[in-house]
Amino acid sequence: MAVYAIGADHGGFALKETIKKYLAGKGFEITDYGTFDTASCNYPDIAEKLADAVAGGRHPLGILVCGTGIGMSMAANKVPGIRAAAVSDYFGAKYTRLHNNANILCLGERVTGPGAACEIAELFLTTPFEGGRHQTRIDLIEAIEKRHFNIV
């Protein structure tokens, strides 16, 4: 069974804990990359640690939570191989997997309620990439990444 990654800064800690409990109750295995309390911390540190684990193949998908989801997505997307999407609705969660093959979902505790966030997280983790014509676009994204990150 796949083991998924989750992480948050202090602004997303409570929602991360809620999502983690919900997903565990649904049978998902989760590795928590922190933070582990509400003490102030820097979201780029958590985002990089989790994104490295996803890009490195330790987890097929991850979830990051901060106040809006935007900061986490910006930081995670600096890691080669990551396609992190800040999402706040079901449609976005579904199609960022189906069409964009996003591998990290970013949520905002201040913008998405806990019930919706839990269902969005489950939808993200269970929706497969559609492939086909969408793979061409993913290949183009990866080509941009290679040019700008000097990846051979």
66 catalytic, yes or no?
A: yes
99 catalytic, yes or no?
A: yes
The catalytically annotated residue of 10, 41, 59, 66 is 66
**Angle (deg, nearest 10), helices 114-126 and 90-98:** 20
Rounded-to-integer distance, Cα 76 and Cα 59, Å: 14
Rounded-to-integer distance, Cα 81 and Cα 83, Å: 7
Rounded-to-integer distance, Cα 63 and Cα 97, Å: 13
* Among the listed residues 89, 86, 83, 120, the one whose alpha carbon sits nearest the alpha carbon of residue 106: 86
* Among the listed residues 67, 141, 135, the one whose alpha carbon sits nearest the alpha carbon of residue 106: 67
Ramachandran class of 11: left when φ > 0, alpha when ψ lies in -120 to 50, beta otherwise: alpha
The catalytically annotated residue of 99, 106, 134, 148 is 99
Which residues are known catalytic residues?
66, 99
